[in-house]
Amino acid sequence: MPNSFPIINIAAYKFITLDADHCMQQQFLEHCTRLALKGTVLLSPEGINLFIAGTRDATDALLIWIRSDPQLADLEVKESCSAVQPFKRMLVKLKPEIITMRHPLIKPELGRAPSVAAAKLKQWLDAGHDDHGLPVVMLDTRNGFEVEVGSFDNAIDYDIEKFSEFPEKIAQQHDALAGKTIVTFCTGGIRCEKAAVYMQEIGFENVYQLEGGILKYFEEVGSAHYSKNCFVFDDRRAVDAELMPYQ
């Protein structure tokens, strides 16, 4: 990592039944504050979602502490770096859902939709079809303003303003998406995972989630079949395919 980019940005989530309460909230806040980290941690009965930035030593120390909980021992992280701290403060919040869909019966930890890794997805997009010969449709589950910053080539999006609009929009698309392999994607994986589970619940077939979202795709594949940049919810505003702040 270049010396000019000393700040490590980590993004992670996991759907898991969690005893999220004020005690846990305070523990997270105390650890993050002691390590001089900034960002946001969301704790919910359905899991954890975090965007945190700080020095390498600080982010590593936080992850060691988080993964000491057996439920979170396999928490996977996406990393990028920046020259300055992209967050203004440290927040730890208790929420009903770690990503609001307003469909609390959707519990991805009880059964995930199938996922496709970045390298495999690139193979499909290179070929124009999946391993069974079905055409591949990329489905953007992000908000309209995020899509404008960059997306997969020829991806479908429904110009939503917030993720809770997605269920109503996708319920109208059974006929349009029939006979195709659908790959849902988002920034880091959380929205596309929940979207894919919901789509399975309402009868869609051949639905996959992009494992780790756009950030993991950039990390492993780069910009293949993707145009422009990826919006992020911090002061960087966007990162390019090198996971560097877009200038």
Domain 7-94: which topology?
A: Alpha-Beta Plaits (3.30.70)
According to DSSP, residue 141 is labeled: -
pLDDT for res 136: 98
Confidence (pLDDT) at 1: 44
Taking the chain (247 residues) in runs of 10, the rounded mean pLDDT of each run is 78 93 98 98 95 97 98 94 95 94 75 92 97 98 97 97 96 95 97 94 95 96 97 94 87
CATH of domain 108-239: 3.40.250.10
Rounded distance between C-alpha atoms, residue 9 and residue 217, angstroms: 16
pLDDT at 3 (0 to 100): 55
**Is 186 an annotated catalytic residue?**
yes
Give the closest residue to 200 by CA, choosing from 129, 133, 117, 112.
Answer: 112
For residue 247, the model assigns a pLDDT of: 64
Query: Alpha helices, DSSP H only, in the chain?
Result: 22-34, 56-67, 118-127, 144-149, 166-170, 174-177, 190-201, 213-220
Q: What angle do CA 137, 147, 126 make, to 5 degrees?
A: 35
Structure-token match 């494992």, residue found? 211
How high is the pLDDT of residue 105? 61
Q: Where are the domains of the chain?
A: 7-94, 108-239
CB contact at 8 A, 13 and 48 = yes
Dist. CA 179–CA 173, nearest whole Å = 12
Q: Choose among 165, 138, 166: nearest CA to 151.
A: 138
- Nearest Cα to Cα of residue 169 among 204, 136, 145, 134: 204
At residue 2, the pLDDT reads 47
Residue 104 confidence (pLDDT): 65
Q: Count of CB atoms within 10 A of residue 105's CB?
A: 6
Q: Which of 81, 186, 192, 230 is catalytic?
A: 186
Is-above-0.85 flag for pTM?
A: yes
